[in-house]
Chain A
Amino acid sequence: QQQVKQSPQSLIVQKGGISIINCAYENTAFDYFPWYQQFPGKGPALLIAIRPDVSEKKEGRFTISFNKSAKQFSLHIMDSQPGDSATYFCAANTNAGKSTFGDGTTLTVKP
């Protein structure tokens, strides 16, 4: 049973555009929702995260929007840059720290 569904699988955006990646979860026990960024040949690295008691969190060009009732959350990358080209994973954590990851989205930002 896939507990975290991520879409789209791949995304191509022009430089300066907005990249949007969506995730949906099923288990209401999840209490922490991180997004990871992974470059080729590297391990995933935390980008931004949110707890379900807030609806939005912004850090620079990256924003998480969270809809608790719909059990959905999304990552928005404003003013996308070629250096943002990477694979992005959403995840959902239990309070024990166990993470369930989405399948990933490969983002390509064209110059």
Chain B
Amino acid sequence: DAGVIQSPRHEVTEMGQEVTLRCKPISGHNSLFWYRQTMMRGLELLIYFNNNVPIDDSGMPEDRFSAKMPNASFSTLKIQPSEPRDSAVYFCASRSTGSSYNEQFFGPGTRLTVL
């Protein structure tokens, strides 16, 4: 298995531009999580999906952030318009609710820099 796949790995954009981050979960996993990691705030859960349905988006910082999961093998996190304070590493993770343990498998992350 290739693991969780995220793209792009690095993104540099200018303030005000739209940014779209992509995630392909591990095949067969039915839960997907989006996290943001910064030095100041650590690892924050933004939103998670079960069976493609958003369950908890309380961590989404503002209306500028939106996430979708149109099918079991793809999810996007969009920031529109982006701001410098959105600069962070964004991780996607997936999990199988059928497993005996609640292990989440993380992708390699997307490092976002907003100038």
A positions within 8 Å CB-CB of B: 32, 34, 36, 41-46, 49, 89, 93, 95-104
Contacts and interface: CB of A to CB of B under 8 A. Distances in A.
Nearest to A6: B42
Interface residues of B, number: 23
Contact of A45 (B43, B45, B106): B106
Interface of B: 4, 31, 33, 42-43, 45, 48, 50, 55-56, 91, 93, 95, 97, 101-109
A74 B107 CA distance: 26
A34 B104 CA distance: 10
Please indicate which of the listed interface residues A45, A99, A103 has the most CB atoms of chain B within 10 Å of its own CB: A99
A100 B102 CA distance: 12
B109 A43 contact: yes
Please indicate which of the listed interface residues B33, B42, B93 has the most CB atoms of chain A within 10 Å of its own CB: B42
Contact of B97 (A36, A44, A97, A101): A97
Please indicate which of the listed interface residues A32, A43, A45, A101 has the most CB atoms of chain B within 10 Å of its own CB: A43
